[in-house]
């Protein structure tokens, strides 16, 4: 059984797919928090947001 990912980093272009994947993996809505110095989970661009289970 796959463990749900607790955090997803995303750039502006991948925010929609990040939300979809997070909800499918965790069966709940994420907290959306601004972030810096991380790469997007889906590409090599700088992540603007992190989706987390808890703030």
Band (pLDDT 50/70/90 cuts) for residue 5 is low
Q: Does 46 fall in a domain?
A: no
- Whether the pLDDT of residue 3 is over 90: the answer is no
Q: How far apart are CA 15 and CA 22, in angstroms?
A: 10
Band (pLDDT 50/70/90 cuts) for residue 4 is low
- Whether the pLDDT of residue 6 is over 70: the answer is yes
Its pTM stands at 0.83
Residue 7, SS3 per DSSP:
strand
How many domains is the chain partitioned into structurally? 1
What is the average pLDDT score of the chain?
92
Residue 49 vs residue 6, higher pLDDT: 49
Q: Does 54 fall in a domain?
A: no
Q: Does 40 fall in a domain?
A: no
- Whether the pLDDT of residue 45 is over 60: the answer is yes
Q: How far apart are CA 48 and CA 33, in angstroms?
A: 8
Range of the domain at 2: 1-34
Q: Does 2 fall in a domain?
A: yes
Q: Does 48 fall in a domain?
A: no
């Amino acid at each position: 059984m796959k463990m749900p990912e607790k955090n997803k980093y995303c750039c502006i272009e991948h925010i929609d797919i990040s939300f979809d994947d997070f909800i499918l993996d965790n069966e709940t809505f994420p907290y959306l928090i601004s972030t810096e110095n991380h790469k997007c989970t889906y590409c090599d661009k700088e992540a603007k947001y992190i989706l987390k289970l808890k703030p």
